[in-house]
Chain A
Amino acid sequence: DAKTTQPTSMDCAEGRAANLPCNHSTISGNEYVYWYRQIHSQGPQYIIHGLKNNETNEMASLIITEDRKSSTLILPHATLRDTAVYYCIVRNTDKLIFGTGTRLQVFP
């Protein structure tokens, strides 16, 4: 699976959009981009995934660049409960390979 690079930490004001970047410059054509988050003492929570096209669901939007070498997860109106570690994963096999993720802190 391709390696991903994410910032170690980010801050976001409550009510504002949180934009979490991810670089995956070595991604290959059949690899999906997945986003999970992990809130303290809980298991990882699936957020969204995509291959080429931008995706949106009730939790977030995923914007994938045309060359697929990077992506951005957007939480449109961050709340305090969105404080978590966010993992960007590039996957073409059964297992998920988690990196160190981005620690997002949402503040009042």
Chain B
Amino acid sequence: GAGVSQSPSNKVTEKGKDVELRCDPISGHTALYWYRQRLGQGLEFLIYFQGNSAPDKSGLPSDRFSAERTGESVSTLTIQRTQQEDSAVYLCASSLVGAGGSNQPQHFGDGTRLSIL
């Protein structure tokens, strides 16, 4: 079946502009995650959605970052007034949620490569 789909695959924009990144999770996956990966570094958790629960926003680096999710489908990550430090690959993952939560693997898309000039 289809995996996690992210768009655009690449985005180049000028400093100060707003950007919106999209994630289509695997059908039926109720949990959705956003991560960021800077060049040569590991993944940083940004935000987590699970069903109708309030999202876990504990990883968002500043109030310029926000994310929304409509039901159990598409999510968008928005970065306002972009800075050069925001340049990174933004990765989305989705999973089923089983008992205890941590027994269901997350499946990742290939990310959006964001470059801020």
Cα A29 to Cα B63 with chains together (Å) = 36
Known: A94-B50, A96-B43. A43 touches B110 (CB 8 A): yes
**A45 vs B111: C-alpha distance in the bound complex, in angstroms?**
12
- In the complex the two chains form, is B102's CB within 8 Å of A43's CB? no
Give chain B interface residues in 49-67, CB to chain A under 8 Å: 50, 56, 59
In this complex, how many residues of chain B approach chain A with their Cβ under 8 Å: the count is: 24
Tell me the complex Cα distance, A32–B99, Å.
Answer: 13
Q: How far is the CA of A54 from the CA of B1 in the complex (A)?
A: 27
- CB contact between B102 and one of A32, A41, A42 (< 8 Å): that residue: A32
Contact size class for A?
Answer: 20 to 34
B56 adjacent to A94 (CB under 8 Å): yes
Residue B21 CB within 8 A of the other chain: no
Asked if B103 CB lies within 8 Å of chain A CBs, one says yes
Query: Does A98 count as interface, using CB distance less than 8 angstroms?
Result: yes
Q: Which of A33-55 contact B (CB under 8 A)?
A: 34, 41-46, 49, 51
Determine which of A32, A42, A100 lies in contact with B103 in the assembled complex, contact meaning CB atoms within 8 Å: A32
Interface residue ranges, B against A (CB under 8 Å): 4, 31, 33, 35, 42-43, 45, 48, 50, 56, 59, 91, 93, 100-103, 105-111
List, sorted by A's number, 15 A–B pairs whose CB atoms are closer than 8 Å: A30-B100, A43-B4, A43-B91, A43-B93, A44-B108, A46-B105, A46-B108, A92-B102, A94-B56, A95-B59, A96-B43, A97-B45, A98-B43, A99-B42, A101-B42
